[in-house]
Amino acid sequence: MRLARAHRHAVPIGIQVGFWGMIIAHGTFCIVMVFNNVLARLRRMNPGLEEASQDLGATPWQTFRMVTFPQFRSALVAGAILAFALSFDEVYVTIFTAPPGVDTLPLWIMNQMARPNEANVVNVVATVVILASFIPVWVSQRLSRDVANRD
């Protein structure tokens, strides 16, 4: 009896991933969106502005805070919004990292697809998710375009 109880709670390599592990997996997978947006903006920046700031007596921290960060802040926000939208689409990451008993939206949709009577509900939920995913993408596009027009 004691052996069966211990075996039921065992995990393959001794690490219980849990809910935070699923969040970390999604963050690791989606951080590329943020990185690519910020890197593209940093490459377009004029390095002369940072040099001028330091020539005028600013410390490296002041230069970062007052010159560098404001130039890539919108790219950071746009990348975060795109990463959030991408996270909705990552069903496989959720399947492999979700702890037992956690029913996220992608897992719920996949479970409901096996029930033919629930097809209409799944269609409505999928349509709402698709429409809701367009909003962050549109906002990030507007943020990127507005800052690019200022340059």
Residue 141 has pLDDT above 70, yes or no: yes
pLDDT of residue 126: 82
Residue 16 has pLDDT above 80, yes or no: no
Among 89, 123, 94, smallest CA distance to 107 is for 94
Q: How many domains does the chain have?
A: 1
Q: Are 96 and 29 in contact (CB under 8 A)?
A: no
pLDDT of residue 57: 92
pLDDT of residue 56: 92
In a domain, 121, yes or no: yes
In a domain, 10, yes or no: no
Residue 62 has pLDDT above 90, yes or no: yes
Residue 6 has pLDDT above 60, yes or no: no
| Angle of helix 119-150 versus helix 105-113 axis, rounded to 10 | 140
In a domain, 34, yes or no: yes
Among 43, 66, 10, 14, smallest CA distance to 148 is for 43
pLDDT of residue 7: 42
Per-residue pLDDT, averaged over 58-63, amounts to 92
Residue 3: which pLDDT band, with cuts at 50, 70 and 90? very low
pLDDT of residue 95: 73
Domain of residue 38 covers: 19-150
Mean pLDDT over each residue of the chain, to the nearest integer: 78
Contacts of 96 (CB under 8 A, 6+ apart): 25
pLDDT of residue 13: 64
pLDDT of residue 148: 52
In a domain, 96, yes or no: yes
d(CA 1, CA 10): 15
Phi–psi pair at 18, nearest 5 degrees: 75, -170
In a domain, 1, yes or no: no
d(CA 65, CA 63): 6
Per-residue pLDDT, averaged over 35-44, amounts to 90
d(CA 77, CA 151): 18
Residue 147 has pLDDT above 70, yes or no: no
**Residue 15 in 3-state DSSP?**
coil
In a domain, 46, yes or no: yes
